A and B are shown apart, each in its own frame.
Chain A
Amino acid sequence: AIQLTQSPSSLSASVGDRVTITCRASQDISTSLAWYQQKPGKAPKLLIYDASSLEFGVPSGFSGRGSGTDFTLTISSLQPEDFATYYCQQFKSYPLTFGGGTKVEI
């Protein structure tokens, strides 16, 4: 199975900060990667698909980059509602897998 390693596992940041989260795949997954945001007690929400395509309705402050094995999710200016846990997921091969998550805290 393809392993996805997210880093860092947690980070502390302030409103207005630029934040970048990394997801590294154990083998080439092209651009078959999604990013999700999850808040406590809620279901995940799709932010980015195809590694860099912004889902409809997601603020433009979110962006995704990468291909192959290295990917990033960037929040250009952290807003109060962005404090959450973020996950990457690969769709290249079965079984599908998620990264371990990155908790963004104040």
Chain B
Amino acid sequence: QVQLVESGGGVVQPGRSLRLSCVASGFTFRSYEIHWVRQAPGKGLEWVALISYDGSNKYYADSVKGRFTISRDNSKNTLYLQMSSLRTEDTAVYYCARVRHKTGLDPWGQGTLVTVSS
């Protein structure tokens, strides 16, 4: 079935870097725009970034622009989020999600928790 599985979360100190991965299966990964969305503990959803099907277009939330980089390897069916200069406010569960019908995201992965703390 169509599935996205995130990994790479963990505890990291402020100012350090971390890379998240999202492995896709059950669909033609190279044909779809993919997004990252995060959710701080007990808070709402925050859109983070998206990458077009071929990697040629990337967009970011203002809160992460210049610090986070989204990329993909279509040969490995894998999406990445390189996070640098991490801040305590970046602590969240990070989800990857596939675009659907152009105005919706589905499915979503199960999420990976990133905790930024000294």
Contact = CB atoms under 8 A, between A and B. Distances in A.
A100 to B, nearest CB: 5
B106 A50 contact: no
Given A43-B108, A43-B111, A44-B108, A97 B103 contact: no
Given A34-B104, A96-B50, A43 B62 contact: no
B94 to A, nearest CB: 11
Interface in A1-55: 1, 31-34, 36, 38, 43-46, 48-51, 53, 55
B103 A44 contact: no
Interface stretch (B9-17, B41-49, B75-83): B41-49
A98 interface: yes
A100 B46 CA distance: 9
Chain B interface main SS type: strand
Contacts of A100: 44
Contacts, number: 72
A46 B106 contact: yes
A46 B59 contact: no
Nearest to A99: B44
A94 B62 CA distance: 10
Contacts of B45: 36, 38, 44, 87, 89, 98, 101
Given A43-B95, A43-B111, A49-B101, A98 B106 contact: no
B50 to A, nearest CB: 7
B118 to A, nearest CB: 27
Given A43-B110, A46-B100, A98-B46, A34 B62 contact: no
Interface string B93-109: 00101001111111111
A50 B44 CA distance: 21
4 cross-chain pairs, A with B, having the tightest CB-CB distances, nearest first: A49-B104, A43-B108, A46-B106, A34-B104
Given A94-B59, A95-B62, 18 more contacts: A36-B45, A43-B95, A43-B107, A44-B45, A44-B97, A45-B106, A46-B100, A49-B100, A50-B101, A55-B101, A87-B44, A87-B45, A91-B102, A95-B60, A95-B61, A96-B47, A98-B37, A101-B44
